[in-house]
Amino acid sequence: MIVPVRPLGRGAFGSVYLAYKREMEFFAAKLIQKKKFEQKELDAAVELGRDFSQCPFILKYYSRAIGTTCIIFPMEYSNFKTLDIIAKKPHITLPSYTLRALMKQTFEGMRLFHSSGLVHRDIKDDNILLNSPLRSGRVHVKIQGPELFQFPSISTQKVDIFALAIVFYHIITHKYPVYSPSFEEQQMKMNRLKCINRPQEIKNNILWDLLSKMLEFDPDKRISALQALQHPYFTSPEALADISKEQQDLAQQAQYSQHLGDLSITEYDKQSTFVVAESNCNQVLQLGIIDKLMNILIEYPVNQIYPHYYYPIYFLVLKEIIIDNQDSHHLVEKIHILYDKLHNCDILATIFRAQHSIQLLSREGLMTRGQKEREFFMNLFNGGGLALTVHIQQVNGKKFCDSNSEGAIGFMLLFMKHSLPEYFKDVIIKHLLEILTYNDDHLSQNALAFLSVIAEQEENYEQLIAGGIIEKTIKLILNSIYEERGVVDAAQSLLNELFESGRNQQRMELIVELAKQGILSNMDDINERFIVIIDKLVVWLELGLMSEEKRVKFHDNQRIFKDIKDKILRKQDSQLEQFNYKEAFAQIQAIFHETQQGTIKFNELMLIKGGCNTVKLLLKSNIAAIPVALEGGGIIDEVISVIMKLQIEEVREIHLVPFEALIEAVGNDCIESLKGKGILTILRKVLDSKLQTVLVQAIEIIFRIISSQTPNEKDQRQTHTLLSTFEQNGISAKLIEILNIDNFEIFEKESPYSFENYYRKLRR
């Protein structure tokens, strides 16, 4: 599994993220928009990774993955920033031997790059990275591939040579030959120049001779990368003598390491003229105590990171932000890397101490008042690594929930007080939703509360829905309905916030999703206990969209059902003979008819269920109700019409109870009438339901129809006709499919009829 940690950069064609994978540890993932990337460019990128596998000066591409909208290139992660960090420090001058080695590495990388027929076209300080292999003491230049790979002509490659000269001009002088705030103005100034004059900062004549040949305006006269490497700046006796003892020692150490079997050593590492000592770069980066501490941690194997290393970070951070530190972004990056190490740590005390430091930092962020300090803390928590550490850390295969909650609460409060950065929002929503699956009531209640705050913003609606928030919330309601009332209340509040934050169309989509998930949850009979809560919640939400007139109408219709039931239940058997069944059925039928005008809404589904239940009660109350119900265009025809219009996932067992009541009351006398009205078509439709309760109800009705046939010769012919009808409309095939699935035992228990009886009755 690839875990995104934080964004590293963004260009015109895509983005680069720091990512983690157990097999690769930390790496950079470059995402390029597919529509801007042609096959020939993909081939060039593949060649780049294949041809330069032994060159440490070109960033390695491990593989590629082609997604729906983008192409993903996993590549090396460089841990020492870019050449830009050197160019931005005018008070720092690199030793001549370090500058020469940096240039030699860069030109060698470009020589190999050009040798494959590629052109970069985007050479600049930020695209030349620096990386220090673990415990090597050396630093390698890493030429980062361009956003688009192109096979050019030879002359076109000279563009890269000119750009390289500008890069090192900038590093040496800490300024550009021509500078203007706008690109267009800078181009105009460059076009007016006939040559670039030597700056006073470059004292070395041989160095300027090399750069001037690279800065030649005429591409045909400009030297190549190979010719640059052959220049006296690199080959003269003076150059070969300008080697520090540390460079020599590191080259000898590389030879010894290779002898011991270190496969990462290259031929370049054994040549002192290519060696850039890490100590020189550290001087440029001005590493402080916090950097030194973090560099130690970065080098340590994950299980050697002990608790006491993390605890001082809180105090060090406070010290750093009190001072006017212009490099606070560098500090933030180091802290991110440090906490990212926790992904593979299984030492409980280490994780707890790290998370405690997160909690302290979060509280400090909540108390900040100044703009600078606030920005610092927002950047600190914006990396994603801290969030991932708190939320997905596992210890011995179990979710580390309890100690995670304090740190999680802290930094979520921080962002609720300020603002939620776009990238961090994705991370935090994902892991808050994951917390809902932890089976921990305390954490679930907190996560629901935070999600409710996030749901207040309309722009978060689609992301929450896409993350499965409805399904997860309903499962929480189900699992906690008897045990933890606080979770149920928090879940209902969250659903209400989603409803309030959505536009009308989104609200309707939410209602549909709630209805669907409620039905899906109902597939397991143990979940019947909470379906009423979902129904009431959805109707309550939907009523909020109605006009006052429609709300009154809805409640009036419910009152009609209640009045009919009350009259039936209050009357004695002798009084039921005089009951006006025709009027009662007509009232219910009118309500059913209203629900079929346009798309059936969830409150109308509630009315249909209530109506079917009332019809069942009327049919069971007195046999006098049966002929009235079976009249042409009567209530049974209306019920059939309604069920045919419902989507299969909307059909519940209660919709079938009028048919069950009819067959139970009069048996064979009404079978033919029901068949003529289309009952078999209804039964075949509902056999496609995924709800066990609906399937059991439908199968029982089918068995009752079969059982109602008496064993005389005439009815045997009717039975065979019935069998033929079942086979023609697919009922037989569907029954065989249903009764042979794993849930067969459920039907055996719940139905008084069995699969064996079904065949015996049909075949006798």
Which tops the pLDDT comparison, 329 or 754? 329
What tokens were used for 668? 């064979």
Do residue 184 and residue 70 come from a single domain? no
Q: Is 337 left (phi over 0), alpha (psi -120 to 50) or beta?
A: alpha
Q: Is the pLDDT of residue 382 over 60?
A: no
| Residue 567 in domain | yes
In tens, the pLDDT along 542-567 reads 666 667 787 788 888 888 888 888 88
Q: Is the pLDDT of residue 40 over 70?
A: no
What tokens were used for 609? 């269920």
Do residue 708 and residue 585 come from a single domain? yes
Do residue 302 and residue 393 come from a single domain? yes
| Residue 410 in domain | yes
Q: What is the CATH number of the domain that holds 225?
A: 1.10.510.10
80 in Cβ contact with 132 (< 8 Å): yes
Q: What is the CATH number of the domain that holds 644?
A: 1.25.10.10
132 in Cβ contact with 278 (< 8 Å): yes
497 in Cβ contact with 540 (< 8 Å): no
Indicate the pLDDT class of residue 106, thresholds 50, 70 and 90.
very high
Do residue 691 and residue 555 come from a single domain? yes
pLDDT at position 328, please?
59
Last residue of a domain, one of 196, 213, 246: 246
Do residue 182 and residue 294 come from a single domain? no
Last residue of a domain, one of 195, 225, 246: 246
User: Which has the closest alpha carbon to 120: 171, 83, 158?
Assistant: 158
Q: Which helix (H) or strand (E) holds 73?
A: strand 70-75
Do residue 108 and residue 69 come from a single domain? no
The alpha carbon dihedral of 290, 292, 298, 300 has a sign of: negative
| Residue 516 in domain | no
160 in Cβ contact with 120 (< 8 Å): yes
| Residues of the chain above pLDDT 90, percent | 11
Give CA–CA dist 466/459, Å, rounded: 13
355 in Cβ contact with 314 (< 8 Å): no
| Residue 477 in domain | no
Last residue of a domain, one of 53, 75, 97: 75
Give CA–CA dist 652/519, Å, rounded: 9
Do residue 44 and residue 128 come from a single domain? no
List the binding residues for ATP. Answer: 30
| Residue 280 in domain | no
| Residue 115 in domain | yes
Indicate the pLDDT class of residue 211, thresholds 50, 70 and 90.
very high
Do residue 554 and residue 695 come from a single domain? yes
Give CA–CA dist 455/502, Å, rounded: 9
List the binding residues. Answer: 30
Domain that residue 633 falls in: 548-763
DSSP E strand boundaries for 144-216: none
Q: What are phi and psi of 752, to 5 degrees?
A: -75, -5
CA dihedral 280, 285, 288, 292 (to 10 degrees): -60
pLDDT at position 524, please?
44
The residue type found at 157 is: Q
Do residue 673 and residue 735 come from a single domain? yes
Q: What is the CATH number of the domain that holds 51?
A: 3.30.200.20
Q: What are phi and psi of 199, to 5 degrees?
A: -80, 155
**Residue 95, helix vs strand vs coil:** coil
| Residue 525 in domain | no
DSSP E strand boundaries for 102-258: 128-131, 138-143
Do residue 588 and residue 676 come from a single domain? yes
| Total residues found in the chain within this entry | 764
In tens, the pLDDT along 461-513 reads 888 888 888 888 877 776 765 455 677 777 877 877 777 666 666 666 666 66
| Residue 510 in domain | no
340 in Cβ contact with 389 (< 8 Å): yes
Do residue 48 and residue 93 come from a single domain? no
**Residue 671, helix vs strand vs coil:** helix
233 in Cβ contact with 102 (< 8 Å): no
Which residues make Cβ contacts (< 8 Å) with residue 729, sequence separation at least 6? 680, 681, 684
Do residue 50 and residue 108 come from a single domain? no
Residue with tokens 């415990």: 135
What tokens were used for 472? 């997860």
Give CA–CA dist 282/295, Å, rounded: 11
Max alpha carbon distance in the chain (Å)? 124
Domains held by the chain: number: 4
